[in-house]
Amino acid sequence: MNDVVIADYLRTAQSRSRPSAPERDWFHQLRADELLARLIPAILSRCDIPSAKIDDCIVGSALGVSEQWTFGGRTPVFLAGMDAGVPAKFIDQQCGSGMAAVQTGFMEIATGFADMVLACGMEHMTRVPMGPTLFENGAMSVNPDLYSAEKYSEWDMPTTMNMGLTAEKLADIAGITREEMDLWAVRSHQRAATAAEAGFFAGEILPISAPQADGSFTTIERDQAVRPGTDVAGTAGLKPIFRADGKVTAGNASPLSAGAAAMLLTTREKALALNIKPLATIRSIGFAGVDPTLMGEGPVPATRKALENAGLQPEDIDVWEINEAFSVVVLNCIRKFNIDPDRVNIHGGGIALGHPLGATGVRLTGTLARIMAEKECRYGCATACIGGGQGISIILERE
């Protein structure tokens, strides 16, 4: 098999989506595919690669309906002005869609069927809001038998379809407290704010000029949801969202977000021939299913598979990027693998930076590669839980 490397990675800033007050979202007048179309030419230009050299363009999104429908992945190719000969595909693995695009590109190159692949992700949770609206307007439909037929009762669809309730169930079973979840959330904001102030994220964010509600244009180059002043007292005062007696609040869960991310994958030989210094080598991948009412458990078996495939143990991993869909997901992984928390989400995570579902997996992987270079670490693992009861993981080795 070919060694597959990350040649480059680039993303937009991640805005704070507010479907009920769209004008407050910095990207509210730009579609998700328009955000992605800004990234693709930029990353190709940075690597001095003509688009005709791309063997596949893989686009991930959790909600590939309405304006996020991609015509088989081709509309971003059209919008980005790529060569007509570039094939594309669309992937929906919910919150894992972006990382699934990276994994698919990895497998295409590793097996010799491609030399260069763009793995992308996008999501706009203001313009294509997650929730009942998409069901009410017919954009999405779940088979009603899953809710009503006794033979499907084991799936407990009311819980399965509500990510907050799955997080509450995981917190109960794992014995993780509200205080622990709030402390992790505060840490996320503090670390993200520190990293942003130090300029770390400027190395991966493409500034984008975006029209605002007042008619002005603003250059968006930082993540909108990061709150430097977040503290324990304020977070502890928030009420539970999903259960009156629950632990999950708006403070210890990721915000709705809009954003896009792109990653260029190739072989080590091709990178060297093109004078590209790779960010990292992809060493292993993993994916797994779990009880859908315990969605947040997904990263655990997925990571176990990735570690086994790489011949590694959890203690061999120097740094981790565990998606903060909810604080409890990260805390559960830390317990299950006995991870030093100081090795996890070093520059904050999704609670602060945002979680534009389809883009998150690319961001996790790319940010991890950059942290590994910054800290001179050998191995890193990025992992995420996935709505519907799945997990997805990737292990990188620093070049």
Residue of 57, 377, 381, 385 with catalytic role? 385
Q: What letter represents residue 318's amino acid?
A: D
Phi and psi at 61, nearest 5°, equal -155, 140
Q: Give me the amino acid identity at 242.
A: F
Q: Is 47 a catalytic residue?
A: no
Taken as a whole, the chain contains a residue count of 399
Query: Could you tell me if 102 and 121 are in contact, meaning their C-beta atoms sit under 8 angstroms apart?
Result: no
Instruction: Answer yes or no: are the C-beta atoms of 264 and 116 closer than 8 Å.
Output: yes
Catalytic, 189? Answer no
List the structure tokens of 295: 């969605």
Residue 208 bridge partners (DSSP)? 220
Asked if 88 and 74 count as a contact pair (C-beta separation under 8 A), the reply is: yes
Collapse the DSSP code of 282 into the 3-class scheme (helix H, G, I; strand E, B; otherwise coil) and give the result: strand
**What are the E-state strand segments in 125-195?**
none
Sequence-distant (6+) residues with CB within 8 A of 5 are: 265, 266, 267, 268, 271, 278, 279, 280, 281, 282, 399
Cβ neighbour number for residue 378 with a 10 Å cutoff:
12
Question: Active site residue: 28, 57, 95, 333, which one?
Answer: 95
Q: Which of 57, 347, 355, 381 is catalytic?
A: 355
Q: Which amino acid is at 268?
A: R
Instruction: Please indicate whether residue 28 is annotated as part of the active site.
Output: no
Catalytic residues: 95, 355, 385
